[in-house]
């Protein structure tokens, strides 16, 4: 009898379990879509709010990008009592199109944003109006307290705090902060049954970022670059300041500038960071690469003489002359670089040979991306050596038929300045959280390019350029400067020829020459009137170097002698 009862009870439990499984299968599989649709009808939607995007600092902890507390306006259409009146007020206060606002207020959407991140005076006016169905949500708006300063490097974010350019884009995953999501629910009659609660500020999960930029050096570079671009009515200008030993970038300036707080008010062309995304034929600032390769291979000495053909030299069917119609006879390599002789540097390149020249160009980092953590980095243009002609060897020797980015050029000269090692340029110094460094970005050596002895010999040659050659306008009182001028004719794609009226004027150098702290490149695109790099670009180098060396407390030559004497 007991066995019968147990069997009966077990059968009932089994039937119950089977019916439960069937019911769950019916709900979760058979009726899944219809039940989901019913569930969604009870929800007015999801509000997403962004909080706590990481702060961006310069190397000394000065804020370059931070956040401001603001409010956004949205409407729950089912709650609006007078759609026309509400639309008129919203359109007037928020400076929006009435028809568009009315369409949003009258929509069947569960909720709709009217305007995000609204100025405080507009919010105050709307709150006084006490419009039914109009709600406010606290959010954070990205704010750039230094306005145009380093804008092309830092970039900007969109309405949803998504990094759209620069560092903001590259480090989006580290800087993005927290996104809060919250649903508004309603009953079957469309009445709201869950109130919106305020969201607290949080920075959980995101990082702050410290850059290698120094806001003082950045401002100095931008200020003097802009003055010269304006003076010569140039199309644009760039300046890069880097530590040759660590690869840390102290400044990366672009002109024209834009304000990232209101980036849409500026042409998209101004958003580009031309120091890394654009490439140019460098002109004569490329000549030190030829000289360094020739000395390093041992095929030529700084005091070796080359006949410069009295100003006219034929390579194949092409006739090559000197700038300003100079007519040079015999010049040493040192004098060739100082006087910027095209024919002289061709003679050096011909002695070096196509294969060795190509290998050194690659070793100096041309034709490959620099490795800096910024969006859109260009590798420039270096044709394979198999595509070179005899004229290509000549043309590339004085900076034509090759395209380089300004940052590639700075990295290459840094290798000459620092004793022969190519360093990877970098713009980020550390990741931080709660004011503490959690990851330090260390300098990275790429490869040895030239010997220390070659580096020393090149330093003497480039000092001679500034003291006795085309670079006199780059001289800084109290410091030895090593550098090179450049004036490159622009290649016009439309005509497939070099312009006789458009040039890129440049100067690249380092100081102090015998113990370099800074490598500085200045490039000014299409100056009007005067176009020589010695006149247009060299003075900008001088001002940036003079003020930056003093700011960094780098002792002058006299001060160093005094310190040594006291020791």
CATH number at residue 70: 3.90.1310.10
Retrieve residue 496's tokens: 């497939």
Domain boundary among 174, 196, 211: 211
Q: What is the pTM of this model?
A: 0.84
The verdict on 207 and 220 lying in the same domain is no
* pLDDT by position in tens, the chain (length 567): 556 565 656 666 666 666 666 665 565 665 655 655 555 444 445 656 666 789 999 999 999 999 988 888 888 888 888 888 888 888 888 888 888 888 888 888 777 888 888 888 888 888 888 888 888 888 888 999 999 999 999 999 987 788 999 999 999 999 987 766 665 554 444 444 344 444 444 445 579 999 999 999 999 999 999 999 999 999 999 999 999 999 999 999 999 999 999 999 999 999 999 999 999 999 999 999 999 999 999 999 999 999 999 999 999 888 999 988 899 999 999 999 999 999 999 999 999 999 999 999 999 999 999 999 999 999 999 999 988 987 999 999 999 999 999 999 999 999 999 999 999 999 999 999 988 999 999 999 999 999 999 999 999 999 999 999 999 999 999 999 999 999 999 888 787 788 888 999 999 999 999 999 999 999 999 999 999 999 999 999 999 999 999 999 999 887 766 555 555
| In-domain check, residue 390 | yes
The verdict on 51 and 190 lying in the same domain is yes
| In-domain check, residue 319 | yes
Q: In 3D, which of 160, 158, 156 has the Cα closest to residue 168?
A: 156
Position 428 scores a pLDDT of 97
Neighbours of 182 (CB within 10 A): 14
Retrieve residue 259's tokens: 């304000």
| In-domain check, residue 560 | yes
Q: In 3D, which of 54, 273, 236, 58 has the Cα closest to residue 146?
A: 58
The verdict on 176 and 228 lying in the same domain is no
Domain that holds residue 140: 45-211
Position 332 scores a pLDDT of 97
The verdict on 201 and 238 lying in the same domain is no
The verdict on 341 and 448 lying in the same domain is yes
Please state the domain count of the chain.
2
The verdict on 172 and 239 lying in the same domain is no
DSSP for 93-119, please give it.
HHT--HHHHHHHHTS-SS-EEEEEEE-
The verdict on 408 and 550 lying in the same domain is yes
List the CATH number of the domain containing 474. Answer: 3.40.710.10
The verdict on 311 and 221 lying in the same domain is yes
Position 195 scores a pLDDT of 41
| In-domain check, residue 34 | no
The verdict on 343 and 196 lying in the same domain is no
The verdict on 347 and 448 lying in the same domain is yes
Phi, psi of 136 (to 5 degrees): -130, 145
| In-domain check, residue 296 | yes
Position 112 scores a pLDDT of 83
Phi, psi of 260 (to 5 degrees): -65, -15
Q: Which residues of 30-59 are buried (b: 16+ CB within 10 A; e: fewer)?
A: eeeeeeeeeeeeeebbebebbbbbbbbbbb
SS3 string of 371-424? CCCCCCCCCCECCCHHHCCHHHHHHHHCCCCCEECHHHHHHHHHHHHCCCEEEC
Domain boundary among 195, 211, 227: 211
For residues 265 and 546, what is the distance between their CA atoms, to the nearest angstrom?
A: 35
Position 9 scores a pLDDT of 64
Domain boundary among 211, 226, 241: 211
| In-domain check, residue 18 | no
The verdict on 465 and 324 lying in the same domain is yes
284 is a catalytic site residue: yes
Query: In sequence order, which residues have a C-beta less than 8 Å from that of residue 237 and are 6 or more positions away?
Result: 225, 226, 228, 229, 253, 254, 255, 522, 523, 524, 525, 540
| In-domain check, residue 473 | yes
In angstroms, the first-to-last Cα distance of the chain is 112
284, 340, 370, 455: the active-site residue: 284
For residues 499 and 522, what is the distance between their CA atoms, to the nearest angstrom?
A: 21
The verdict on 245 and 96 lying in the same domain is no
**Residues 80 and 132: beta-carbon distance below 8 Å:** yes
């Amino acid at each position: 009898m007991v066995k019968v009862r147990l069997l009966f009870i077990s059968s009932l439990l089994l039937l119950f379990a089977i019916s439960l499984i069937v019911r769950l299968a019916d709900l979760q599989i058979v009726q899944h879509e219809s039940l989901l649709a019913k569930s969604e009808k009870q929800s007015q939607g999801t509000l997403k709010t962004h909080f706590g995007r990481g702060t961006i600092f310069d190397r000394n902890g000065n804020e370059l990008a931070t956040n401001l507390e603001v409010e956004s306006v949205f409407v729950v259409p089912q709650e609006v009592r007078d759609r026309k009146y509400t639309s008129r007020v919203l359109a007037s206060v928020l400076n929006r199109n009435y028809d568009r606002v009315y369409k949003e207020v009258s929509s069947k959407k569960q909720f709709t944003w009217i305007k995000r991140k609204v100025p405080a005076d507009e919010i105050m006016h709307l709150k006084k109006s006490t419009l039914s169905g109009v709600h406010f949500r606290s959010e954070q708006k990205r704010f750039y307290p230094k306005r145009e300063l380093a804008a092309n490097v830092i970039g900007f974010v969109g309405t949803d705090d998504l990094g759209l350019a620069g560092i903001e884009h590259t480090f989006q995953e580290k800087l993005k902060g927290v996104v809060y999501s919250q649903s508004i629910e309603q009953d079957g009659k469309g009445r709201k049954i869950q109130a919106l609660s305020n969201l607290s500020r949080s920075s959980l999960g995101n990082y702050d970022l410290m850059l290698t930029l120094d806001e003082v050096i950045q401002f100095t570079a931008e200020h003097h670059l802009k003055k010269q671009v304006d003076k010569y009515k140039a199309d644009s200008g760039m300046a890069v300041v880097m530590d040759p030993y660590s690869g840390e970038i102290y400044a990366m300036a672009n002109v024209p500038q834009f304000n990232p707080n209101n980036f849409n008010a500026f042409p998209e062309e101004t958003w580009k960071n031309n120091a890394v995304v654009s490439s140019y034929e460098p002109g004569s600032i490329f000549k030190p690469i030829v000289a360094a390769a020739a000395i390093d291979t041992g095929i030529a000495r700084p005091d070796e003489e080359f006949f410069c053909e009295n100003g006219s030299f034929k390579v194949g069917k092409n006739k090559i002359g000197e700038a300003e119609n100079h007519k040079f006879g015999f010049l040493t390599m040192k004098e060739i670089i100082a006087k910027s002789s095209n024919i002289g540097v061709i003679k050096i390149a011909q002695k070096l040979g196509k294969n060795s020249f190509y290998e050194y160009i690659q070793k100096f980092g041309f034709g490959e991306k620099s490795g800096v953590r910024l969006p859109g980095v260009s590798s420039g243009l270096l044709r394979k050596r198999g595509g070179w002609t005899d004229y290509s060897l000549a043309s590339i020797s004085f900076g034509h038929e090759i395209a380089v980015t300004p940052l590639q050029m700075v990295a290459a000269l840094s290798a000459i300045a620092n004793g022969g090692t190519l360093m990877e340029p970098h713009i980020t110094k550390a990741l931080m959280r709660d004011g503490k460094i959690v990851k330090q970005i260390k300098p990275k050596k790429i490869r040895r390019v030239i010997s220390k002895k070659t580096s020393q010999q090149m330093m003497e040659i480039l000092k001679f350029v500034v003291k006795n050659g085309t670079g006199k306008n780059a001289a800084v009182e109290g410091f030895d400067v090593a550098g090179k001028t450049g004036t490159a004719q622009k290649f016009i794609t439309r005509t497939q020829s070099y312009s006789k009226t458009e040039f890129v004027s440049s100067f690249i150098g380092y100081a102090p020459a015998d113990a370099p702290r800074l490598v500085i490149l200045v490039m000014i695109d299409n100056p009007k009137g005067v176009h020589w790099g010695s006149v247009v670009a060299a003075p900008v180098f001088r001002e940036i170097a003079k003020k930056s060396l003093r700011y960094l407390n780098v002792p002058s030559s006299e001060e160093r002698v005094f310190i040594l004497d006291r020791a």
